[in-house]
Amino acid sequence: MTAVVPPYGPAPADPDPGGAGATPEPGRGTPPYGLAPADLPAYVYDLAALDGHAAAVRATLPGIELYYAVKANPDPELLRVLARHVDGFEVSSAGELAHVRGLLPDVPTALGGPGKTEAELTADVTRLHVESPGELRRLLASGRRADVLLRVNLDVPVGGASLAMGGGATPFGMDPADVARCAAALEGQDRVRLRGVHAHLASGLAAAELLRLAGAVLEYARALGVTEVNLGGGMAVSYADPDDRFDWRSYGEGLARLRRPGEVLRIEPGRSLTAYCGRYVTRVLDVKRVHGELFAVVAGGTHHLRTPAAKGHSQPMAPLPPGGPVTIAGQLCTPKDVLARRAPVALAPGDVVEFTMAGAYAWNISHHGFLMHPPPSFRYLGRPSA
């Protein structure tokens, strides 16, 4: 296990780890995965499960380039596993690029995201996603060589999305008129080479809706005269029903039908690759009833696992005895520090609670420094053989 040292010094020892002298039921207070009580809260990443899932996804996408969106989870151990199955990594900052290069110096990289700095615009990457005419002007003025995709924000309806980056006015990409002007600006020179378009329009979509959008993007790209298309990610992940998985097989078959000879199609999923391999394990510190509502306060909280606050859901959990309903809150001094609301489970001080689907947009997006609580520890299970 790799433990993280608290950035503000070691946490004081808990004189009453069971909470007010309470004694949990046998087994309910025993941490899983070989963790000790002092290790909690902890992130547990199942690398073998990630390896198997990534291999299965890869198998459904013959002829399609698969990049991983590092923003979903940049944990080095996860990146090393994913590197066995993906064609490259999509990064959104110089920091992410340096992180990936430090681990995997030869892996292909695509750099995207709005508001690029000079260092990011001129970085040595496989593909640079240009977000605006201003970015392109600065890139051309730099004199650097680059292979670029122009990010287009198509005015197409995006139905059922959990988060929309396109289909209307957003800070992401350009409308088709500006893309056309950028393409014209690239004519007559060979330093900045137009390779195609990028179009990540929405997140949280089922395969059928993603394929509908892919068809619209491909129709646009063909009219523009380019043959390389990055369709982004956006594959749906259901926290309400963890067994409701994205249909990779039908998506891969649909992309195969859409792709014409000579075209390069690339996707860059993030959450849908890593969400299922992570768990956040903690323990109950206190249970109380306030104005008739039952609350369980656990060690840690949304400063470790911000996903439920960011997405507005109750984080799924491993099975617990029935009871409740109980709202599971963290240690922060804010009513927004809630991991699950009105969960139908029985909890007592000292009980271990295991939140599932914590492998994406979890630790890395959380506000770690708020209140200066110590960070979690990390454990990695089942490292795949080389």
Name the packing angle between helices 176-185 and 207-224 (round to 10°). Answer: 40
* Judgement on whether residues 142 and 248 belong to the same structural domain of the protein: yes
* Judgement on whether residues 194 and 321 belong to the same structural domain of the protein: no
Report the candidate in 223, 90, 97, 252 with the shortest Cα–Cα distance to residue 154.
Answer: 223
pLDDT tens track, the chain, 386 positions: 333 322 223 333 333 333 333 344 545 889 999 999 999 999 999 999 999 999 999 999 999 999 999 999 999 999 999 999 999 999 999 999 999 999 999 999 999 999 999 999 999 999 999 999 999 999 999 999 999 999 999 887 666 544 444 455 567 789 999 999 999 999 999 999 999 999 987 778 999 999 999 999 999 999 999 999 999 999 999 999 999 999 999 999 999 999 999 999 999 999 999 999 999 999 999 999 999 999 999 999 999 999 999 889 999 999 999 999 999 999 999 999 999 999 999 999 999 999 999 999 999 999 999 888 999 999 999 987 66
Q: Which tokens in the block code for residue 16?
A: 């009453």
* Judgement on whether residues 224 and 325 belong to the same structural domain of the protein: no
- Other beta carbons within 10 angstroms of residue 359's beta carbon come to 28
Residue 73 lies in a domain: no
277 part of the active site: no
Residue 170: per-residue pLDDT: 67
Residue 367 lies in a domain: yes
CATH of the domain at 308: 2.40.37.10
The Cα-based distances of 110 to 80, 208, 341 in angstroms read 17, 26, 39
* Judgement on whether residues 294 and 177 belong to the same structural domain of the protein: no
Range of the domain at 329: 37-45+276-381
Residue 112: per-residue pLDDT: 97
Residue 5: per-residue pLDDT: 28
Instruction: Name the domain boundary from 228, 253, 269.
Output: 269
Tell me the pTM: 0.89
Catalytic-role residue among 13, 177, 333, 386:
333
Report the candidate in 135, 137, 130 with the shortest Cα–Cα distance to residue 153.
Answer: 130
Name the packing angle between helices 133-142 and 176-185 (round to 10°). Answer: 20
Instruction: Name the domain boundary from 224, 247, 269.
Output: 269
> Phi and psi for 195 in degrees, rounded to 5?
-100, -25
Residue 224: per-residue pLDDT: 96
Residue 257: per-residue pLDDT: 98
Total of domains in the chain: 2
